[in-house]
Structures are given as structure tokens and as C-alpha cells.
Amino acid sequence: KYVNILLFAITLQYAWSLFDTLRGLITFLRCSDCSLDIMLIAELLTLLYVPLIFILLFKRRRWGWILLFADNLFSIISMVGQSYIFFKYQSAHHSTTTSFLLPIMIKGAFVSFLWGDSIANYFEIDKETKKKTAIITTGLTILSNIIMFLIF
């Protein structure tokens, strides 16, 4: 039951990502003086690996859970890491606090769902694997955010 909900949620997320990425790609292709953005590249890569995660989850492979958990934890940490810049320049982006916090809360709830024993056990994920996945993902995310901050 939970797996079907999980697969449905991934399908919805993928559909939204596909729409959003294609919209960004079309905007980029129509722009005559734009340079390729690292965020657009990341979004295009997402379109490639989300179907892989879906297939792995559908086949009950533990790597499906690991990749899905790591991806969502990476997103949460990265979004929280961008909070200073978001709130400092919020008026320039014409964004609301809700539009910033809602995706973080949704992904947080999703990560909590994945962390739960019922879904983790379904993919034969033990406590040690969960802990290692969380630690490695957190470390790599913080490192990549520091590198991105220094580069840009």
C-alpha cells in the first residue's frame, strides 16, 4: 500500500519536474544572450535519474530507497542552505516565505516517511544503512554547497 503511494508521489513529482524543466529549457533556447546555467543542467540530470529511481523502487531494490532518500535529503539541506540568500533578497525575487518553506516542509515529511521502518523494511534497509546514507548525504551536500558558494 505504502509503496503504491510512494510510486504515485514520484510520478507526480516527475511530471511537475518535467513540466518545469521543459519550461526552463524553452526559455533558455529562446534567449539569444543567455549562458548555460548550472541549475538547468541539474534539472536536466534529474529527468534522467528519476525514472531510474522509479524502476529500482518498483523492483524493490534497496538502491532505489537509498537514491530517493539521498536525493530528498540533499534537496532539504541545499534549500535550507540557501535560506540566507533567499531572505536577504526576497523582495528582488518577488517570493513569499511560504513559497520558500512549503517545499522544504513537504520534502521533510517525505524524508520522514522514507525513514519510517515500514517503508525502509520493505526495501530491506536496516538502521545502519539508514544512518550511513544520512551521514554520507549530509556530508557531501554540505561540501558541495560550500564549493558552490565559493565558486559563485
15: confidence class by pLDDT, cuts 50, 70, 90: confident
Output the DSSP codes for 75-123. HHHHHHHTHHHHHHTHHHHT--HHHHHHHHHHHHHHHHHHHSHHHHHHT
pLDDT digits (tens, 9 = 90+) for 112-127: 999 999 899 999 999 9
Residue pair 91/115 in contact by the 8 Å Cβ criterion = no
What is the pTM for the complete model shown?
0.83
Question: Among candidates 85, 81, 79, which has minimal Cα distance to 101?
Answer: 79
Percent of the residues in the chain that have a pLDDT greater than 70, as a whole number: 99
DSSP letter (8 states) at residue 33:
S
pLDDT in tens, 27-70: 888 888 877 777 778 888 888 888 898 899 989 999 999 999 99
With cut-offs at 50, 70 and 90, classify the pLDDT of residue 16: confident
**Cβ–Cβ under 8 Å, residues 34 and 49:** no
